[in-house]
Amino acid sequence: MAQVLAMILAGGRVGELDVLTFFRPKSVLPYGGLYRVIDFPMSNLMHSDIENVGILSQYRPFELISHIANGEPWDMTGRQRCAVILPPFQGRGASDWYKGTADAVYQNIDFIRLNNPEIVVVLSGDHIYRMDYRRLIEFHLEKNADLTVAFTKVSPEGSSRFGLASMDEGDPRGGRLTEYREKPKNSQLEWASLTIYVFRTELLIATLKENAASSSHEFGKDIIPMLMQKHRVFGYKHSGYWGYTRTVQEYYRTSMDLLGSRPRVDIRSWELRTNMSDSHIRDRQPAFVGPLASLEDVFLHCGCSIRGRVARSILFPGVTVEEGAVVEDSILFFDSTVRSGAVLTRTVADTGCVISEGADVGDPGDALTVIGMETIVPEKVRIRGGVTIHPKLKTGSFSKKEYLGGEVVQ
């Protein structure tokens, strides 16, 4: 295979994830009881034998830097192998914060040239999927493409948030793009961009330099339409699972796809890797399940202590559910605690939260309750579905006993 360099767009924050990304970029959002979202593209790269990776980071990078470490969890250390965090930097010339996805890669052209790849693969760091990028690259080379974009088939409902395309038929793997529109309204196009791009290196560099003088610097909005005018741009059809994590609802649905007798996301068969030296994971005791505990369709890991009832939920290391507590259809991040008599329903609780005795949080239905990091919910308070609670609030910050759906506690 051609010499390949991967660039992961991993440093941003999206407002739709609200309190879950107050203190972390979206790419290291905890997922699946043990992992981070960026573990999916990192593991895909590892299994695809792509071992040189630049990770573009900007928003609150500490947790991302700590998680990636030196790339060792994905076997990306050693001779001619590396996983490098690439934050914005100040050099001799003018520089700035990354102004868009294309600008982030543009500001790291020196890193690309240092690695001297024939092909650059640009990936998003916040999608849940499994892909062998070697098949994508083989398709790209076979078609003599200048740019190949990976797509997945979507229904028209809700598709206006994606870049959408149509392509020539004939090859079941994909075809030359005939139309591409970035986040169109009322479109009947059915192939959505996965934000996975394969470029010929010199064309990528030349295009980024040309785009640098523009006011907009996005791959979907600017680079793809520019190249379609004069170059060979192809679409590659991805047929497997693809989970989106841009909003809290999408993150929740994608997480729940881990559960059930036939989960849509089977982490074990996907051979997903993570950083097991993470301070949230290492040195934990085995999980403990008490004699009166009740577990039904639960994902849990080391360090958990379960004495109450837990159903259809995902628990990260260090979670405690005391005797008499009930947790249903919920996600509890690292070291969160549900005290005796508390009830938690359709709730996402960030790291270090405490649900005090007798608190009743969330409701069945569509509305999710989201609790920010290190918040202590007071005793016997009633918080209905759809409430968002800001991080690091203590019991004195709650002014009433019942919060209605849609309220924000801050």
Given phi > 0 = left and psi -120 to 50 = alpha, else beta, which region is 329? left
User: Does domain 288-409 sit in CATH 2.160.10.10?
Assistant: yes
Between CA 218 and CA 236 the distance in angstroms is 20
Asked whether residue 170 carries a pLDDT value surpassing 90, the answer given is: no
C-beta separation of 165 from 235 below 8 A: yes
**Contact partners, residue 206, CB within 8 Å, separation at least 6:** none
Which H/E stretch holds residue 192? strand 191-200
Kindly give, in sequence order, each residue whose CB lies less than 8 Å from that of residue 208, ignoring residues fewer than 6 positions away.
102, 105, 106, 109, 223
Task: For residues 226-252, give the mean pLDDT.
Answer: 94
pLDDT grade for 220, boundaries at 50, 70 and 90: very high
4-270 and 288-409, same CATH topology: no
Provide the residue ranges of all domains of the chain, joining segments of one domain with +. 4-270, 288-409
The whole-number pLDDT of residue 52 equals: 95
**pTM for the whole structure:** 0.94
pLDDT tens-digit map of 158-168: 677 789 999 99
More reliable by pLDDT, 215 or 1: 215
Q: What are the DSSP E strand ranges found in 210-335?
A: 233-238, 242-244, 288-289, 294-299, 305-306, 309-315, 320-321, 326-328, 331-332
Q: What is the distance between the alpha carbons of residues 228 and 216, in angstroms, rounded to a whole number?
A: 17
The answer, yes or no, to whether residue 405 has pLDDT greater than 50, is: yes
Structure tokens, 138: 């083989």
Q: Mean pLDDT throughout 200-214? A: 95
Average pLDDT, the chain: 93
pLDDT at 57: 86
193/182 Cα distance (integer angstroms): 9
- Read off the pLDDT band of 89 (50, 70, 90): low
Model confidence pLDDT, tens digit, residues 336-369: 999 999 999 999 999 999 999 999 999 998 899 9
181 touches 189 (CB < 8 A): yes
Domain 4-270 has CATH 1.10.3080.10: no
First-to-final CA distance of the chain: 53
For residue 94, pLDDT over 70 is answered with no
